[in-house]
Amino acid sequence: MNCTDVKYDLLNLLEGDLETSQEVQIRAHLSSCETCTANYNELQQTLAIIETERTAVLDDDFSASVLEAIKEQNQTVSFTSRMKQVLLYAAVVSIGIFIGSLTANLLVASNDQVSHDPLQELYLDGLKAEPLETFLISN
């Protein structure tokens, strides 16, 4: 066996999931390869640490306090996110009102600069239409 094959089967060797012939080949390689032996020992130590951490005993109050902290955090996040939404909507409405009033002021200012003759003739579909005052005076 080469180092690549052994590297992929080290965990199976530690867990006892290999066939006997495969295990014999890997152990023979480990006896002759220092790099793979170092990897095997490191993996064995890592699994031992994980196993001791897995068996840690926690008191009953610990899980209750963690659940309570999660609930408080969810309530805080919910309130905060709602406040952000309200402030965002208020900002959008305020900007809309500002832009609308600015546009209206610009339109009023531009209309004030153009003089309008109240008796100005209107053209509808190419036909000349007279203002109402002119029609009443002439008749």
Q: Using alpha carbons only, give the angle 123, 124, 125 rounded to the nearest 5 degrees.
A: 120
Residue 108 has pLDDT above 90, yes or no: no
Same domain, yes or no: 63 and 39: no
For residues 38 and 80, membership in a common domain is answered with no
pLDDT (average), residues 80-108:
87
Residues 86, 103: one domain? yes
- Whole-angstrom CA distances from 94 to 87, 89, 112 are 10, 9, 27
* Token duo for residue 114: 């153009």
Opening angle at CA 46, ends 42 and 48, nearest 5: 115
Q: Look at the chain and report how many structural domains it folds into.
A: 2
Report which of residues 23 and 109 the model is more confident about. Answer: 23
Residues 44 and 75 in one domain: no
Looking at the fold, whether 78 and 126 belong to one and the same domain comes out as yes
Give the domain range for residue 121: 59-139
Q: Is 113 exposed, middle or buried (0-12, 13-18, 19+ CB in 10 A)?
A: exposed
Chain position carrying tokens 């305020």: 94
pTM of the model: 0.40
CA distance 136 to 77: 73
Cα(19)–Cα(49) distance, integer angstroms = 26
Q: Which 8-state DSSP code applies to residue 114?
A: S
Q: For residue 109, is pLDDT > 70?
A: no
Same domain, 121 and 79: yes
